[in-house]
Structure formats: C-alpha cells, structure tokens
C-alpha cells in the first residue's frame, strides 16, 4: 500500500483548543496536581450527546491518538489540560463547615467547544489537599448514578452539569462495604459554587473575592457588568436562576438530597448528584437522603432551602455589594420568580393553554389529593394527558383510593378545560411534551448498578438511551415507565452514594 493511501485510512487529527480561564485566577483558587493513577481502567458508559457538545469525533473513545480511556481514568492528559483541585467552603446541613474543596474531583481544563467553552472535571480521581482524610475515590455505584442522572436531567430540559463518561477499575474502595472504583467525567460551563464565594469572604480575602466575582461576571454573566451595581446584579442573577431551577425540580418531582451551599451552582445548574431521587409515590415530606436525619432537604423544603442558601451567598458578597439593603433587594425577586415559574410549569403539566385566576389552586388541590393517596407522581401526570371531560378517565382515576375526591377535582378540571375550549388531542400532545414518561427512578439505577457490578454494562447503556428520550412513548421500553417494584422502597441512598 502506498503511503498516500495509508494516510487516507488514518483518522483525521483532532484539534482540541483549551482556554483554561479558571486556571488563570491563580494559586489562591486551586492547587495544581495530577490525578492518582487508576489501575486496569475499562469503559463503563459514554454519552454521545455530551461528546457532540464538546465537538469530539464520533470515535473519540477508541482512537489511539486520543488515548481517551487513559485520559478519563486520570492516567494521562491531553495537551493543554491543566489539572487542579479548587478550594471552597460552605454550610452543610445548615451548619458552617469551614474549608472544603474538591476532595475527590480534579478540574482538567476548559475545552473550546462549538457551543462555547466547557470545563471538564474528573470525579473520583484520588486525594487532593481538600480530601479531609478521605481517599478521594468514587465507587462504581455512585458514578453510574451521577452519569445517568446528569444526562437524564439534560434530556428533561433542566439546567445541569453533564457527564461525558464513566471509567471503571477493579481497584477496591471501602465505603459501607468494599466496592470497586470508578471515575466519572463531568462537564459544565463552570463548576463555581456558592461556597467559592463563602470561602474568600470568611477568610477576609476581599481582593480574591472581587477577582472571583469579576471572573463570573466577565465570562459567564456579562450583562451584570452593564448594571449600575454589577455585584448586586450578580447576586440577583443567581437569585433568579436558582428560583427557576427550583421550580423545575419541583415540577418534575426531583429531590437533590444534599443542598449544601457548596453544592449550589452560581449559574443555577443542578450540580453534585449524590443521594438524589425522583418521587415515586407522592409524599411532599419525602427525604431521599438516608443521612438527612432531620429531613432538612425534603422535597417540599427545597425551595426554602435554596432561599436560605442565597442568603448565605448574599452574606459572602456583602463586602462587594456594599450594604445589606442592596443585598436584600437582590434576593427579593426569589419568592415571586419561584411562585410564578412553578405555577407556569404546573399549568403546562395540566395542559392549560391560557392563564386563569384559579389555576394555582387547581394544581395545588391535585397535588393534595395525590399526596393523600400516595399516587405515583410521574405516572399520574403522564396519564392525565388522556383525560377527556365527561368520560370515566379510569386510567388516571384508578390511581386514587379516594375516588370521590378525584371526581370532584376532575369536574373542576373539566370545567376549566371547557372554558378555554381545549381540544383533547392537542392538549394531550402538549402535556406529553412536558410530563415525562421516563425518569431515573432509584430502582432503575439500582438494577443497572447490580448488572455493572457483575461486569455487564449493557443495562447502564440501555437505560441511558431510554432516559435521553424521556417524553417519547418508546413502547419497546415501557417496563421502564411502570410502577416501582416492592423492593424499591428498601433502597437507601446516602451522602456516600
């Protein structure tokens, strides 16, 4: 074979540009260090959608010139990567915890992707100066959960960090029991948290605090620079994006589980998937984190906890904002923004095309009836798309124990639909675009994990494909949308999950 023909068969070289703007902030913000080597790495799962976001070629994971398996296990670097662990502080379960930081995460760099710069981060890559006596590792169980939920939330349209891949290893890691190690590669426009600001404010390092705020404004929220008071505008932007995020979580029945200030994104992204869960039987007091003895992070409390966390952020930014009055004014939009956003989302979940004065009460009363009978959250809203005024509507009615209570609500709902001349087929189509059929229920993740522990990763990959299309019927995968099995109620997830 001639050299010319041989060259034609080689894959085109991949040119990956790196900006690494966060690294330019300096040593006060992060410690540069390599990942700890991961022995005998192997692929567990990859997200093609996330790879496309980053502009990687379709065969990125198997190309010899990219050595992706080595890179995303922490055993090698692409040219331009600058690994470092960042420092931050925060409140954990409402108590000031002092200095924290990337105890098992490592920032690789910022790729100049087609859709804009995105940071890459390894989670589970070994000890850092912020590991606080931990081993810096993640286990296969938690890595699969984070990988699947990151991509599932993106498919649901909820702001989130993304996940490119999971790499496994036979390396033993001790948690409640001995498990195998894994590394998940996370992707986001920025991993800056409320806790980053709290760290420099608590240390009295106001110059560093200003540099951090300027960095976020200049690179992520440039509209704040044009405001009369840019730092107050930064706080207000975080307030509004957080309010919108909380409305989206509540509307889809998502429980984060550990809403500490160090787990809150300054850009309003869902970040740090640990003991999360989607509601099965609807219980507003549901606590998905087995470590949360006081129920601080129950589903119904999430919006108020977010508001509390925003106050902690405001306190941290106070040296820049200048006065408590200005800071409080920047927080003021939260309650109205959240209420407005949640009401709007509940209205769309009910298929209402117009705004009505009693829409909030109509949605609230449905939720109360669902809570009273522990009705499955996702299934109820999905089945409601088939509601027809004047019909029996057994598919949704049979979910309720107290049929009379549902019948009373259904009569009000039917009257509301008739007032706007709702067309059943059109409404059903609208509702099925906002009420998912498929969410990452704990028992689905658990089944994938059990297969993976036995060396079978097909279930993780199959589940990813289902979750990437949460609003589609996918009749071949209908079992993934069924009621959870009895054993699902015994699953416990905690901060080690």
pLDDT of residue 15: 78
- Between CA 339 and CA 332 the distance in angstroms is 13
Provide the 3-class DSSP secondary structure of residue 206.
Answer: helix
Residue 496 has pLDDT above 70, yes or no: no
**Token pair in block for residue 132:** 């606080």
What percentage of residues in the chain have a pLDDT greater than 90?
Answer: 93
Q: Which residues contact 394 (CB under 8 A, 6 or more apart)?
A: none
Task: Answer yes or no: 262 catalytic.
Answer: yes
pLDDT of residue 11: 57
**Token pair in block for residue 344:** 């709007």
C-alpha atoms less than 13 angstroms from C-alpha of 391 in its C-beta half-sphere: 11
pTM of the model: 0.95
pLDDT of residue 482: 97
- Between CA 167 and CA 160 the distance in angstroms is 21
Read off the pLDDT of residues 250-309 as tens digits, 9 standing for 90 and up. Answer: 999 999 999 999 999 999 999 999 999 999 999 999 999 999 999 999 999 999 999 999
- Between CA 402 and CA 354 the distance in angstroms is 29
Average pLDDT, integer, range 188-193:
98
pLDDT of residue 115: 85
Read off the pLDDT of residues 401-431 as tens digits, 9 standing for 90 and up. Answer: 999 999 999 999 999 999 999 999 999 999 9
Residue 376 has pLDDT above 50, yes or no: yes
Q: Which residues contact 381 (CB under 8 A, 6 or more apart)?
A: 349, 431, 435
- The least confident of 210-214, 299-303, 333-337, 492-496 is 492-496
Provide the 3-class DSSP secondary structure of residue 379.
Answer: helix
Average pLDDT, integer, range 116-141:
96
Read off the pLDDT of residues 341-359 as tens digits, 9 standing for 90 and up. Answer: 999 999 999 999 999 999 9
pLDDT of residue 494: 76
pLDDT band at residue 5 using 50, 70 and 90 as cut-offs: very low
- Between CA 400 and CA 383 the distance in angstroms is 12
- 329 by Cβ neighbours in 10 Å (0-12 / 13-18 / 19+) ranks as middle
Pairing outcome for strands 178-188 and 116-123: antiparallel
Average pLDDT, integer, range 370-386:
98
Nearest to 248 by CA among 217, 274, 277, 270: 270
- Between CA 348 and CA 474 the distance in angstroms is 22
- Between CA 495 and CA 316 the distance in angstroms is 26
Catalytic residue (one of 48, 59, 64, 262): 262
Q: Which residues contact 405 (CB under 8 A, 6 or more apart)?
A: 369, 372
Mean pLDDT over the full length of the chain: 95
- Between CA 103 and CA 88 the distance in angstroms is 10
Nearest to 380 by CA among 356, 410, 352: 410
For residues 367 and 380, the answer to whether their CB atoms sit within 8 Å is no
Going by the DSSP 8-state scheme, the letter that residue 478 receives in this structure is G
- Between CA 23 and CA 400 the distance in angstroms is 55
Give the dihedral sign, CA 327/328/329/332: positive
- Between CA 415 and CA 360 the distance in angstroms is 15
What percentage of residues in the chain have a pLDDT greater than 70?
Answer: 97
Residue 162 has pLDDT above 50, yes or no: yes
């Amino acid at each position: 074979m001639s050299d010319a023909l041989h060259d034609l068969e080689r894959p085109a070289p991949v040119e990956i540009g790196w900006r690494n703007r966060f690294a330019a902030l300096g040593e006060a913000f992060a410690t540069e260090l390599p990942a700890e080597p991961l022995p005998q790495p192997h692929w567990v799962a990859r997200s093609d959608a996330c790879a496309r976001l980053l502009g990687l070629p379709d065969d990125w994971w198997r190309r010899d010139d990219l050595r992706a398996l080595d890179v995303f296990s922490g055993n090698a670097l692409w040219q331009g990567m600058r690994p470092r662990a960042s420092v931050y502080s925060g409140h954990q379960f409402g108590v000031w915890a002092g200095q924290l930081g990337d105890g098992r995460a490592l920032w690789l760099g910022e790729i100049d992707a087609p859709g804009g710069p995105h940071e890459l981060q390894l989670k589970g890559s070994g000890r850092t100066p912020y590991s606080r006596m931990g081993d810096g590792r993640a286990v296969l169980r938690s890595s699969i959960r984070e990988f699947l939920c990151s991509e599932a939330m993106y498919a649901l349209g909820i702001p989130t960090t993304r996940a490119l891949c999971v790499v496994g290893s036979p390396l033993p890691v001790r948690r409640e029991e001995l498990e195998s190690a894994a590394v998940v590669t996370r992707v986001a426009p920025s991993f800056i948290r409320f806790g980053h600001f709290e760290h420099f404010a608590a240390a009295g390092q106001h110059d560093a605090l200003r540099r951090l705020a300027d960095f976020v404004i200049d690179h992520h929220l440039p509209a704040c620079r044009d405001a009369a008071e840019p730092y107050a505008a930064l706080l207000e932007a975080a307030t509004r994006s957080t309010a919108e995020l909380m409305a989206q979580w509540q509307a889809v029945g998502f429980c984060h589980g550990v809403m500490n200030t160090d787990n809150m994104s300054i850009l309003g992204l869902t970040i740090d998937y640990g003991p999360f869960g989607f509601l099965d039987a609807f219980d507003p007091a549901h606590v998905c984190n087995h470590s949360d003895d006081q129920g601080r992070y129950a589903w119904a409390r999430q919006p108020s906890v977010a508001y509390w966390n925003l106050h902690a952020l405001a306190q941290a930014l106070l040296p820049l904002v200048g006065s408590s009055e200005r800071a409080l004014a920047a927080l003021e939009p939260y309650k109205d923004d959240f209420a407005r956003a949640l009401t709007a989302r509940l209205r769309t979940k009910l298929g209402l095309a117009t705004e009505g004065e009693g829409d909030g009460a109509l949605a609230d009363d449905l939720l109360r009836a669902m809570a009273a009978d522990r009705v499955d959250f996702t299934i109820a809203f999905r089945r409601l798309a088939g509601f027809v005024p004047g019909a029996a509507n057994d598919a949704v009615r049979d979910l309720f124990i107290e049929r009379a209570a549902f019948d009373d609500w259904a009569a009000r709902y039917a009257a509301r639909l008739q007032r706007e001349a709702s067309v059943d087929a059109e409404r059903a189509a609208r509702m099925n675009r906002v009420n998912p059929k498929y969410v990452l229920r704990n028992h689905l993740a658990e089944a994938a994990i059990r297969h993976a522990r036995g060396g079978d990763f097909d279930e993780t990959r199959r589940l990813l494909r289902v979750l990437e299309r949460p609003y589609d019927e996918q009749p071949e995968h209908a079992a993934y949308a069924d009621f959870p099995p009895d054993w699902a109620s015994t699953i416990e997830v905690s901060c080690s999950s």
